Amino acid sequence: MKENVQSTLGKFKMEKSPYMHRLRWHSPIVKLTFWSFVFLGLILVFFFRSPSTSSPLGSDVSRRSLSTNSWGGPAWEKRVRSSAKVRSRNGISVLVTGAAGFVGTHVSAALKRRGDGVLGLDNFNDYYDPTLKRARQALLERSGVYIVEGDINDKALLEKLFEVVAFTHVMHLAAQAGVRYAMVNPGSYIHSNIAGFVSLLEVCKSANPQPAIVWASSSSVYGLNTKVPFSEKDRTDQPASLYAATKKAGEEIAHTYNHIYGLSLTGLRFFTVYGPWGRPDMAYFFFTKDILKGKSIQIFEAANHGTVARDFTYIDDIVKGCLASLDTAEKSTGSGGKKKGPAQLRVFNLGNTSPVPVTNLVNILERLLKVKAKKSIMKLPRNGDVQFTHANISSARRELGYKPSTDLQTGLKKFVKWYLSYYGEGKKSAK
């Protein structure tokens, strides 16, 4: 929008000369009009610039209301269209929500590389260091992906996007992530994972044609289940965190929109995704930071010295699963908000099928960083984390050809290499 305003001012200056010369420049009326326009222009520049400098309050609401100013106009629409333009035969055009997020960035880049049309949407909230999101945005910008700054709760914005581009698919990755943060800010889970999801589905069901939707659920829906490996057919009615509960609610809401409106919906239960450009709130990430700083790290253990283990899944494997989900998604069957026939409804585990104890994770990091970690062992608090996750991926293998191929050692090596180049040499420090 900043560019837009400036180019308008530039045009005004250029157009001024032929016209102005005919009028007498020294006439006080002309002078007054001219300076009024300049003054008005400056006010406009000031107003349109202000949303990009984040509000000191940092509250969700102020961010949202300001961001409504940052979209619209012919130059903006042109940018949206160009980013979403399909450049390969049989390509798809995808709206990626949460595009400045970890998975969103990788999926957007992969789609763009194949020649698909990609438009990003992200509210750039400050749940974790927004400079990392801005760096991912810059990365995508260079590959031709534009990220619209806005919230999925902004229905007018979503409607506008569908008016400008007839998206064939939506990759919905925007969410409030994290398990323990729900005790600090429970409302943000409801705002993004439930209200935001419904807002998106409402716009998708009314769009013509309706897009097919692939969205991020979570392995956390398995909650306190003890039967392993976790299978999609297992009951998921004992979530251990509000985060898990909102993702589970999302799966039920997806069922409803599929049933009533004929939306094609695929939910992906991600299992502890890690890799370059990852999320700083995840253990492998802040362990790396703290080990390098010589700061003590807390390792959780379950009752009776039980191991805490995670089915760590490397980002490239997840991206393949996401793209395969988009490629195998059938068309939605509704139009004009009405269902015309049964539509596809799927849920897949995207894991790695080999849980690794968190102590092994730390050992690998110590070797890669060549630094011994200072460890303190803590009891696993009963505030959301579960003892282990382990995916049965036979369904994803059968339906998507999903075959994870990166083990934790290989994946962490790539993560550490990225971490050192991004934060290393005193350039920035992980907050």
Ligand X SMILES: *[C@@H]1O[C@H](CO)[C@@H](O)[C@H](O)[C@H]1NC(C)=O
State the Cα–Cα distance between residues 327 and 2, nearest whole angstrom: 36
User: Which of residues 126 and 234 has its CB atom nearest to ligand X in the complex?
Assistant: 234
Closest distance to ligand X from the beta carbon of 75 (Å) = 49
User: Which of residues 150 and 229 has its CB atom nearest to ligand X in the complex?
Assistant: 229
Closest distance to ligand X from the beta carbon of 239 (Å) = 21
Rg (the chain; Cα; Å): 24
CA atoms within 13 A on the CB side of 242: 19
Report the amino acid identity of residue 191. H
Closest distance to ligand X from the beta carbon of 309 (Å) = 16
* Site for ligand X, rule CB under 6 A: 229, 231, 392, 394-395
Q: Is residue 163 within 8 Å of residue 127, measured between CB atoms?
A: no
State the Cα–Cα distance between residues 185 and 6, nearest whole angstrom: 39
User: Which of residues 354 and 394 has its CB atom nearest to ligand X in the complex?
Assistant: 394
Closest distance to ligand X from the beta carbon of 213 (Å) = 23
Q: Is residue 222 within 8 Å of residue 388, measured between CB atoms?
A: no
Closest distance to ligand X from the beta carbon of 352 (Å) = 14
User: Which of residues 344 and 394 has its CB atom nearest to ligand X in the complex?
Assistant: 394
Residue identified by tokens 């979403």 is 84
User: Which of residues 108 and 392 has its CB atom nearest to ligand X in the complex?
Assistant: 392
Closest distance to ligand X from the beta carbon of 231 (Å) = 4
Report the amino acid identity of residue 317. D
Which position among 128, 146, 189, 243 bears the catalytic label? 243
User: Which of residues 229 and 276 has its CB atom nearest to ligand X in the complex?
Assistant: 229
Closest distance to ligand X from the beta carbon of 394 (Å) = 4
> What distances in angstroms separate CA 294 from CA 270, 291, 414, one per listed residue?
31, 5, 22
User: Which of residues 387 and 395 has its CB atom nearest to ligand X in the complex?
Assistant: 395
State the Cα–Cα distance between residues 334 and 357, nearest whole angstrom: 46
State the Cα–Cα distance between residues 251 and 347, nearest whole angstrom: 8
Q: Which of 243, 259, 260, 122 is nearest to 188 (CA)?
A: 243
353 torsion bin: left (phi>0), alpha (psi -120 to 50), beta (else): left
Give the residue nearest to ligand X (CB): 392
User: Which of residues 151 and 251 has its CB atom nearest to ligand X in the complex?
Assistant: 251
Rounded to 10 degrees, what is the CA torsion of 228, 231, 233, 236?
A: 70
* Dihedral sign from CA coordinates of 272, 278, 279, 285: positive
Closest distance to ligand X from the beta carbon of 388 (Å) = 15
State the Cα–Cα distance between residues 114 and 107, nearest whole angstrom: 11
DSSP 211-270: PEEEEEEEGGGGTT--SSSB-TTS-----SSHHHHHHHHHHHHHHHHHHHH---EEEEEE
Cα 392 from chain centroid (whole Å): 25
Residue 274, both tokens: 């890690």
- Is 243 an active-site residue? yes
Q: Is residue 200 within 8 Å of residue 216, measured between CB atoms?
A: no
State the Cα–Cα distance between residues 173 and 143, nearest whole angstrom: 20
Q: Which residues are catalytic?
A: 243
